[in-house]
């Protein structure tokens, strides 16, 4: 088994190689849109015209930003049903869970997160979904199940956003 430092270094090398490929692609005039929620460039792409983001996802995002949780939840649900193979489908499920939690619907949030993990096991939101599932389970008093879910995040790549959040929580930084 590799050490944590070794795995982190390997992940950093992978990220650097990917960034180099993306930079080369950009130099050739090609572009690959990033998923929303990562940075301001990604958010600007979310609202730019073009085929990358369907209007239904944009509308759901705007409803979420305006605090209209019920409308956002419904719009994300419709998006996932209509576009199950779209690169943003896992993001839509994640946001569905977020909106369900805002409405106090933990069971519905867990269902959306579980669907995300099962339907999109290689999606970029999986580690965050697993972390959120673990935290919801802990909030419901299902401590052992929650801890198991959180441990799964740490077993995956330590460079993922979810794993970074878990590390911060374990160190007491996220409280």
The verdict on 9 and 68 lying in the same domain is no
| pLDDT tens per residue across span 5-36 | 656 555 555 555 555 555 555 554 444 344 44
Measured N-to-C along each axis, helices 143-155 and 161-171 cross at an angle, to the nearest 10 degrees, of: 120
Provide the residue range defining the domain that includes 24: 1-32
The verdict on 23 and 95 lying in the same domain is no
Predicted confidence at residue 77, as pLDDT, reads 97
The verdict on 21 and 55 lying in the same domain is no
Number of domains in the chain: 2
The verdict on 47 and 68 lying in the same domain is yes
Predicted confidence at residue 148, as pLDDT, reads 87
Task: Look at 24-28, 78-82, 88-92 and tell me which has the smallest mean pLDDT.
Answer: 24-28
């Amino acid at each position: 088994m590799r050490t944590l430092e070794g795995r982190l270094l390997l992940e950093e090398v992978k990220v650097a190689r990917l960034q180099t490929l993306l930079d080369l692609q950009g130099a050739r005039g090609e572009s690959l849109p990033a998923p929303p929620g990562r940075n301001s460039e990604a958010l600007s792409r979310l609202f730019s015209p073009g085929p990358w983001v369907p209007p239904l996802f944009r509308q759901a995002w705007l409803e979420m930003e305006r605090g209209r949780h019920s409308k956002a939840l419904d719009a994300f649900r419709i998006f996932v049903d209509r576009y199950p193979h779209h690169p943003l489908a896992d993001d839509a499920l994640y946001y569905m869970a977020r909106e369900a939690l805002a409405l106090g619907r933990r069971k519905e949030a867990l269902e959306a997160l579980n669907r995300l993990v099962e339907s999109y096991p290689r999606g970029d939101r999986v580690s965050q979904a697993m972390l959120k599932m673990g935290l919801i389970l802990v909030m419901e008093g299902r401590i052992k199940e929650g801890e198991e879910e959180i441990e799964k995040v740490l077993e995956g790549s330590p460079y993922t956003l979810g794993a970074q959040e878990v590390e911060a929580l374990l160190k007491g930084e996220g409280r």
